[in-house]
């Protein structure tokens, strides 16, 4: 088989660095696996926190790890209802269009370490492009809500819009603080600047905190799941979605979280830096990178077991007051520390 | 319905992908729980820590579009039927329905109610789980049965067979409950039957002086009960005087009694005072008699705001017109297709039989229930109109919403601020008052327990005490203590249910799980005592069914210690969570004046600064012999109400501890001699003599009103007896949640939209209790 030129080329393509990073690890393949595993981890860990076991009976030996497979298959096979008053076209298109801003930032993620970058596209404006794409996401959620033409979707959409403004500026400013700190916005340069274990989170903890809270708001996780609050607006923009359309929307939240966590890993946790695992070569950086991202994600999902939800006005107050101030302080901090270093 | 039957299972079996479809449906049944009635309490347990339904892959979601499974919990009333149809219709195929609880099948305890339907007439049902209430185990077994059905495993369902069980000669024929019941043909109905009690002469003189010329007669009907008879014209003036001069500031009950053979209605208001300490325990009944034709009285809601909703309710039930109440002529509690004026005597419901006579067809025992047809109930026109111009949006919430019980509240929202909120209760109105008129006195014990099976013992206690007061029964001391213990356990249990819901409304599932886990411990103890998780029906007039043994007392004692640690954890994670405090503090404030005006009851009244606890004011059972304090607060906001109740629970545990210690030293029977009569051998265990002792209870003539402090406030039972029938002539029950509804709506105004859930949770509003 290996003699056939096609296979050779295929393998060569797969192992071509940029391609591998984008498609396999930490790109789409890992993302897909994580999407199936992470909600399970979430349900298990939160279950533990709540004195119960979480999904189990589906495969008792493996502690129910394939639970999400059943859920997603079920969504796939379920009827998709488009109700009379919906904007039919938008209603069906937006869940798919939403993929674009969610997946594109992966192009600029550097999963390598100082000296050996692993990034699909090297660009001097990598960070800016990523931030721009991330800030594009809420627009699609607004579109979803608008197309649903439902009272709760309407309220949820408006909430999303309000919250979007509240977290977006501190988020951008926090990233800006790190650009100032590292003196570059190239994802290769960003990771290089954190060489020697001097991670961003140590250099500028304030920016890291602001970034983290903004990520919580952006992914609508507790305590900021205000736009999707199921007791209040029953999943807000997604209320009318059923079957695979809802499945996509549901999964999208996790994808967004993945992108933000990956960005956080790159900006603050030293990218893929870590001890070499013998025999794996550069792949060991990728493993470190995915592990770090996973840890960030687990922290994010576990907050569900700890916090109730803020009210909209409180969430906005936090965004416009505390976080904005924190972000500005972070910039000042960067200037000072940057000058010292 | 027949065409739909099993359609979804068939649907799953078609196509080449069917194995995957079956497998994924099986393991991913996300229930859109349909909490309709008491059984919903057990559903909460089935999905909380103790039983954890999520093990089976069923994740409770509550939003119809995204779920594929309905669990119908208990009674579907006519009003709720529409919501059920809607929700079912909204769900994407393939979808499955599970009905739990006896009353979802053929009505259960409410089988002859005028307001229920059979869910199987409305949606195709895949599995039924019997039980009243069902246990969480049974519920999960139902989920498994549905899973089996999906993959094609046939669980043998029951085949009904008729068997003849002849009496063997040597067996003594057991006495069956009296049947048929005795209804007096022309009963003598009188509200003001005078009684010689050593109380109230002074008050009577005062009233006579103040109400000079306005009353027809003033009678002392019992200790702490006084009845003022007046004319229709003077009713309003009397109320005005009472309020302005005697500080009688709220109404506890509005009642109408129909006496068809005398062609009259008796309209009565039971009022009391929260401001005058001397008057606090006194129930002042103001009543008037009006003709059956064109019945009209002046509404007293301008004077006593707290009478408002009850007047509307009475208007619906009897057709009495309360002039001046804005809700006249409109449906409030009932559905559009419920029979009109259902509480009138001429409207008869099917009668229960206890003896099966040979040759009787089973159909005679079944009431045919017409499935509801057109169930469209629009939002009142005047509520929508003008909204657009004023830049407001109308948002109806409920009766099926992920964060509402069965209550519909229609909001007008401007920006994020609630301008107005109109409640629409009655989705769980199971017509208890009507059914109670057709049951023997003793049979109403389990019936009224279904008001709130998360506070069962207190519900029993309220009813049983009314009977005891009427019959003049002294409860033996040991039973008093034991009843106190059980009542307090029930209070703890009810609090944790409400606390769980409160935290769930904030999106805090951990708080919910912890609260349910604590509740589970209390329930465990109730099981030890009575054998039933949530519906013990353990108290009977004159005492209780059987003694609580020393080792069970030991368990109760241990519970008071074990619960502490868990309580601490719950407080750490939820109560003192900064987010909870931010959400609840200063929200939904009810000032003292507002609380009194709206006639709030229980801990919610105390949170607004009124020191009113019936356990202290008019002590019953062993409460005056134990050492405990009433908790009051001044804030009147959501946090205050919640923390107030939390503090109260700590007092409850203190009471339980003391009572357990005390009761060990008190020997003696647990059933009073007064009620046992010749069956003295039953003094420690009523088993075997139950219907002999209680089957023929007849209350003395007159109206008997008793108030009890249950977990959520004052529970009022007002039983009218004609002195000859062995069924009550009329039972009026006012549950705390019903009284709190007015204040609940008041607290909402001016708050933010998301605060509705904070306010809701802090009032512990439990729709089955409110709707009765
Ligand atoms: S009466 Fe209540 S407890 Fe009994 S089956 Fe019906 S809902 Fe359940």
**Per-residue pLDDT tens over the stretch B171-224:** 555 555 555 576 777 787 887 777 777 887 787 788 778 777 777 788 888 888
pLDDT at B158: 67
Q: How far is the CA of B451 from the centre of ligand 1 (A)?
A: 10
First-to-last C-alpha distance (Å) of chain B: 30
Cβ–Cβ contact A71 with B under 8 A: yes
CB contact under 8 A, A313 and B573: no
The three-point CA angle B743-B747-B752 to 5° equals 150
User: Between A71, A79, A239, which is nearest B93 by CB?
Assistant: A79
The count of residues in chain B is 772
Picking from A57, A78, A308, the nearest residue to B583 by CB comes out as A308
Tell me which chain B residues have a C-beta less than 8 angstroms from the C-beta of A74.
24-25, 27-28, 68
B37 Cβ below 6 A of ligand 1: yes
> Other CB atoms closer than 10 Å to residue B624's CB: what's the count?
10
**Greatest Cα-to-Cα distance within chain B, rounded to the nearest angstrom:** 89
**pLDDT of B9:** 73
Sole residue written with tokens 């107030």: B644
For residues B677 and B696, the answer to whether their CB atoms sit within 8 Å is no
Write the pLDDT tens digit of every residue in B561-620. 888 888 888 888 888 888 888 888 888 888 888 888 888 888 888 888 888 888 888 888
Whether A264 shows a pLDDT value over 80: the answer reads: yes
Which of A53, A70, A310 comes nearest B27 by C-beta? Answer: A70
**Cα angle value A226/A50/B759 (rounded, 5°):** 45
Mutant choice from B19, B415, B507, B755 vs A, greatest count of A C-beta within 10 A:
B507
Contacts of B92 in chain A (CB under 8 A): 78-81, 242-243
Please give the Cα distance from B617 to B611 (Å, whole number). 9
pTM of the model: 0.88
Q: What is the mean pLDDT of residues B40-56?
A: 86
* Phi, psi for residue B140 in degrees, rounded to 5: -65, -30
Most confident listed range (B199-213, B300-314, B383-397) = B300-314
> Residue B410, CB half-sphere, CA atoms under 13 Å: how many?
15
pLDDT the model gives residue B765: 86
CA A10 to chain centre: 30
Q: Please indicate whether, in this complex, the C-beta atoms of B577 and A51 are within 8 angstroms of each other.
A: no
Taking residues B670-678, report their average pLDDT: 79
Per-residue pLDDT at A225 exceeds 80: yes
Q: Is B768 touching ligand 1 by the criterion CB < 6 Å? A: no
Helix axes B736-748, B308-318, angle to 10 degrees: 120
- Virtual CA dihedral for A204, A207, A213, A216, nearest 10 degrees? -90
Cβ neighbors of B73 (< 8 A, separation 6 or more) are: B33, B34, B35, B36, B37, B39, B40, B42, B43, B100, B101, B104
Ligand 1 centroid from CA B101, angstroms: 5
B517-549 confidence digits (pLDDT tens) = 899 888 988 898 888 888 888 888 888 888 888
Q: How far is A215 from chain B (nearest CA, A)?
A: 18
pLDDT beyond 70 at B50? yes
For B156, the 3-state DSSP assignment is: coil
| Secondary structure (3-state) at B221 | strand
How far away, in angstroms, is B88 Cα from ligand 1 center? 21
Q: What is the pLDDT of residue B180?
A: 59
Please report, for residues A291, A339, B347, B412, the alpha-carbon distance to residue A200 in angstroms, rounded to integers and kept in the order given: 17, 16, 78, 48
What is the per-residue DSSP string for A159-192? HHHHHHHHHHHHHHHHHHHHHHHHT---HHHHHH
> What number does the ligand 1 atom closest to the CA of B103 have?
6
Q: What are the tokens at A135?
A: 């800030």
The pLDDT, as a whole number, for residue B209 is: 80
Q: Which of residues 184-243 of A touch B (CB under 8 A)?
A: 222-223, 225-226, 229-232, 234-235, 238-243
Distance from CA of B503 to the nearest CA of A (A): 7
Q: How many angstroms separate the CA atoms of B625 and B613, rounded?
A: 15
Is B764 close to ligand 1, i.e. is its CB under 6 Å away?
A: no
Query: In this structure, are strands B225-230 and B250-259 parallel, antiparallel, or unpaired?
Result: unpaired
- Rounded Cα–Cα distance for residues B365 and B369 (Å): 12
Q: Please state, rounded to an integer, the average pLDDT across all residues of chain A.
A: 82
From ligand 1's centre to the CA of B74, what distance in Å? 5
Q: What is the CATH number of domain B2-151?
A: 3.40.50.12280
Verify whether ligand 1 is closer than 6 Å to residue B32 (CB atom). Answer: no
Chain centroid to Cα B647, Å, comes to 24
Closest-CA residue to A89 (of A99, A77, A97): A97
Structure tokens at B260: 């068809």
Chain A residues with CB under 8 Å of B416 CB are 312-313
Structure tokens at B415: 């920006």
Express each pLDDT in B607-647 by its tens digit.
Answer: 888 888 888 888 888 888 888 888 888 888 888 888 888 88
> B153 in the Ramachandran plot: left (φ > 0), alpha (ψ -120 to 50) or beta?
beta
The C-alpha atoms of residue B62 and residue A236 are separated, in whole angstroms, by 13
Per-residue pLDDT at B745: 86
Residue of B nearest to A46 (CA): B510
Q: Is the CB of B583 less than 8 angstroms away from the CB of A311?
A: yes
pLDDT greater than 70 at residue B680: yes
B290 pLDDT band, cuts 50/70/90, is: confident
Q: Which residue is closest to A71 within chain B, CA to CA? A: B28
Atom of ligand 1 at shortest distance to CA of B109? 1
Q: Residue B632's pLDDT is what?
A: 83
Q: In this structure, are residues B584 and B637 in contact, taking their beta carbons and an 8 Å threshold?
A: yes
Of B21, B48, B506, the CB nearest to A77: B21
Containing B291, the helix (H) or strand (E) segment is: strand B283-291
Neighbours of B193 (CB within 10 A): 17
Task: Answer whether residue B362 shows pLDDT above 70.
Answer: no
**Residue B375 reports pLDDT greater than 70:** no
Decide if A309 and B507 are in contact by the 8 Å CB cutoff: yes
Work out the angle between the directed axes of helices B509-530 and B477-505 (0-180°, nearest 10): 160
Q: Range with the lowest mean pLDDT among A49-53, A123-127, B101-105, B401-405?
A: B401-405
Distance from CA of A53 to the nearest CA of B (A): 7
Distance, in Å, from the CA atom of B338 to the CA atom of B185, rounded to the nearest integer, reads 27
Size of interface A-B (CB pairs under 8 A): 167
Q: What is the ipTM of this complex?
A: 0.86
Asked if A110 contacts A266 with a C-beta cutoff of 8 angstroms, the reply is yes
Residue B232 DSSP code: T
- In chain B, where the domains are located: 2-151
Residue A30 sits at φ, ψ, to 5 deg, of -65, -40
Task: Determine the 3-state secondary structure of B99 from DSSP.
Answer: strand
**Beta-carbon count within 10 A of B478 CB:** 23
Tokens standing for residue B352: 């229960």
Residue whose CA lies nearest to ligand 1 atom number 4: B132
pLDDT band at A285 (very low <50, low <70, confident <90, very high): confident
Q: How many residues does chain A have?
A: 341
pLDDT confidence tier of residue B414, bands split at 50, 70 and 90: confident
What pLDDT does residue B24 have?
Answer: 85
- Write down the pLDDT at residue B374: 63
């Amino acid at each position: 088989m290996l003699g056939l030129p096609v296979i050779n080329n295929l393998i060569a393509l797969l192992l071509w660095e940029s391609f591998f990073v984008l498609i396999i690890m930490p790109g789409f393949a890992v993302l897909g696996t994580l999407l199936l595993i992470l909600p399970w981890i979430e349900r298990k860990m939160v279950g533990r926190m709540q004195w119960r076991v979480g999904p189990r009976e589906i495969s008792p030996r493996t502690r129910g790890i394939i639970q999400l497979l059943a859920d997603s298959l079920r969504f796939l096979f379920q009827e998709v209802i488009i109700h009379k008053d919906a904007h039919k076209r938008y209603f069906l298109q937006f869940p798919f269009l939403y993929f674009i801003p969610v997946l594109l930032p992966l192009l600029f993620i550097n999963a390598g370490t100082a000296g050996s970058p692993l990034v699909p596209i090297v660009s001097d404006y990598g960070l800016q492009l990523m931030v721009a794409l991330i800030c594009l996401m809420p627009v699609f959620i607004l579109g979803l809500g608008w197309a649903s033409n439902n009272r709760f979707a309407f309220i949820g959409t408006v909430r999303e819009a309000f919250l979007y403004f509240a977290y977006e500026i501190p988020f951008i400013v926090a990233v800006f603080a790190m650009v100032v700190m590292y003196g570059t916005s190239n994802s290769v340069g960003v990771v290089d600047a954190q060489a020697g274990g001097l991670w961003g989170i140590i250099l500028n903890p304030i920016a890291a905190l602001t970034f983290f809270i903004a990520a919580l708001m952006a992914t609508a996780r507790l305590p900021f799941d205000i736009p999707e609050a199921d007791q209040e607006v029953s999943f807000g923009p997604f209320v009318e979605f059923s079957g695979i359309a809802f499945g996509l929307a549901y999964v999208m939240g996790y994808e967004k979280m993945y992108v933000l966590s990956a960005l956080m890993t790159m900006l603050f946790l030293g990218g893929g830096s870590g001890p070499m695992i013998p025999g794996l070569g550069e792949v060991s950086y990728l493993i470190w990178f995915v592990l770090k991202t996973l840890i960030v994600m687990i922290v994010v999902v576990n907050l569900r077991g700890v916090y109730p939800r803020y009210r909209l006005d409180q969430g906005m107050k936090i965004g416009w007051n505390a976080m904005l101030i924190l972000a500005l302080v972070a910039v000042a901090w960067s200037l000072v520390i940057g000058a010292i270093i | 319905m027949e065409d739909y039957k099993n359609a979804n299972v068939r649907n799953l079996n078609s196509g080449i992908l069917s194995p995957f479809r079956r497998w994924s449906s099986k393991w991913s049944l996300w229930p859109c729980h349909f909490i309709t009635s008491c059984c919903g309490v057990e559903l909460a347990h089935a999905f909380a820590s103790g039983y954890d339904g999520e093990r089976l892959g069923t994740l409770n979601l509550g939003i119809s579009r995204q779920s594929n499974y309905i669990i119908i919990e208990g009674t579907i009333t006519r009003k709720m039927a529409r919501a059920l149809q809607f929700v079912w219709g909204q769900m994407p195929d393939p979808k499955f329905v599970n009905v739990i609880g006896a009353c979802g099948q053929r009505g259960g305890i409410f089988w002859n109610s005028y307001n229920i339907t059979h869910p199987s007439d409305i949606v195709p049902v895949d599995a039924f789980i019997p039980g009243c209430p069902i246990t969480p185990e049974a519920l999960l077994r139902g989920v498994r049965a549905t899973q089996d059905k999906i993959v094609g495993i046939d669980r043998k369902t029951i085949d009904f067979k008729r068997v003849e069980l002849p009496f063997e000669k040597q067996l003594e024929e057991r006495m069956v409950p009296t049947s048929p019941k005795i209804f007096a043909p022309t009963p003598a109905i009188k509200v003001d039957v005078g009684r010689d009690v050593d109380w109230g002469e002074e008050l009577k003189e005062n009233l006579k002086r103040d109400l000079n010329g306005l009353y027809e007669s003033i009678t002392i009907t019992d200790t702490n009960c006084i009845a003022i008879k007046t004319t229709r014209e003077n009713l309003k003036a009397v109320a005005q005087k009472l309020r302005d001069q005697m500080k009688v500031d709220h109404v506890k009950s509005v009642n109408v009694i129909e006496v068809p053979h005398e062609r009259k209605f008796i309209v009565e208001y039971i009022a009391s005072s929260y401001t005058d300490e001397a008057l606090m325990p006194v129930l002042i009944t103001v009543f008037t008699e009006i003709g059956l034709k064109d019945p009209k009285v002046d509404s007293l809601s301008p004077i006593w705001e707290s009478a408002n909703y009850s007047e509307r309710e009475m208007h619906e039930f009897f057709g009495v017109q309360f002039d001046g109440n804005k809700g006249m002529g409109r449906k409030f509690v009932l559905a559009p297709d419920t029979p009109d004026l259902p509480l009138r005597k001429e409207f008869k419901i099917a009668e229960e039989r206890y003896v099966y006579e040979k040759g009787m067809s089973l159909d005679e025992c079944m009431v045919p229930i017409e499935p509801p047809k057109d169930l469209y109930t629009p939002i009142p026109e005047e509520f929508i109109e003008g909204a657009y111009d004023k830049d407001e949006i109308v948002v109806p919430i409920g009766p099926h919403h992920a964060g509402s019980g069965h209550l519909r509240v229609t909001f007008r929202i401007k920006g994020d601020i609630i301008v107005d909120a109109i409640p629409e209760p009655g989705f769980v109105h199971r017509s208890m008052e009507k059914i109670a008129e057709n049951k023997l006195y003793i049979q109403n014990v389990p019936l009224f327990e279904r008001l709130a099976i998360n506070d069962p013992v207190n519900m029993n206690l309220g009813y049983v005490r009314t009977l005891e007061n009427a019959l003049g029964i002294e409860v033996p001391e040991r039973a008093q203590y034991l009843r106190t213990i059980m009542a307090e356990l029930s209070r703890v249990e009810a609090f944790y249910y409400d606390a769980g819901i409160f935290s769930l409304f904030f999106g805090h599932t951990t708080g919910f799980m912890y609260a349910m886990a604590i509740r589970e411990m209390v329930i465990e103890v109730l099981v030890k005592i009575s054998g039933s998780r949530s519906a013990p029906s353990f108290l009977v007039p004159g005492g209780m069914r059987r003694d609580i043994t020393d080792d069970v007392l030991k368990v109760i004692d241990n519970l008071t210690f074990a619960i502490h640690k868990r309580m601490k954890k719950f407080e750490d994670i939820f109560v003192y969570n900064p987010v909870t405090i931010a959400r609840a503090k200063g929200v939904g404030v009810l000032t003292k004046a507002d609380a009194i005006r709206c006639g709030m009851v229980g801990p919610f009244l105390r949170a607004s600064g009124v020191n009113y606890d019936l356990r202290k004011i008019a002590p019953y059972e062993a409460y005056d012999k134990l050492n405990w304090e009433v908790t009051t607060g001044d804030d009147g906001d959501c946090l205050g109400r919640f923390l107030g109740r939390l503090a109260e629970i700590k007092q409850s545990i203190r009471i339980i501890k003391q009572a357990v210690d005390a009761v060990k030293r008190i020997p003696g029977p647990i059933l009073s001699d007064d009620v046992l009569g010749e069956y003295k051998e039953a003094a420690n265990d009523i088993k075997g003599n139950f219907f002999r002792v209680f089957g023929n209870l007849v209350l003395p003539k007159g109206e008997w009103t008793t108030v009890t402090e249950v977990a959520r406030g004052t529970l009022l039972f007002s039983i009218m007896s004609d002195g000859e029938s062995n069924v009550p002539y009329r039972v009026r029950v006012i549950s705390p949640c019903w009284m709190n509804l007015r204040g609940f709506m008041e607290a909402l105004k001016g708050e933010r939209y998301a605060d509705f859930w904070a306010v809701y949770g802090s009032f512990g509003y439990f729709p089955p209790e409110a709707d009765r």
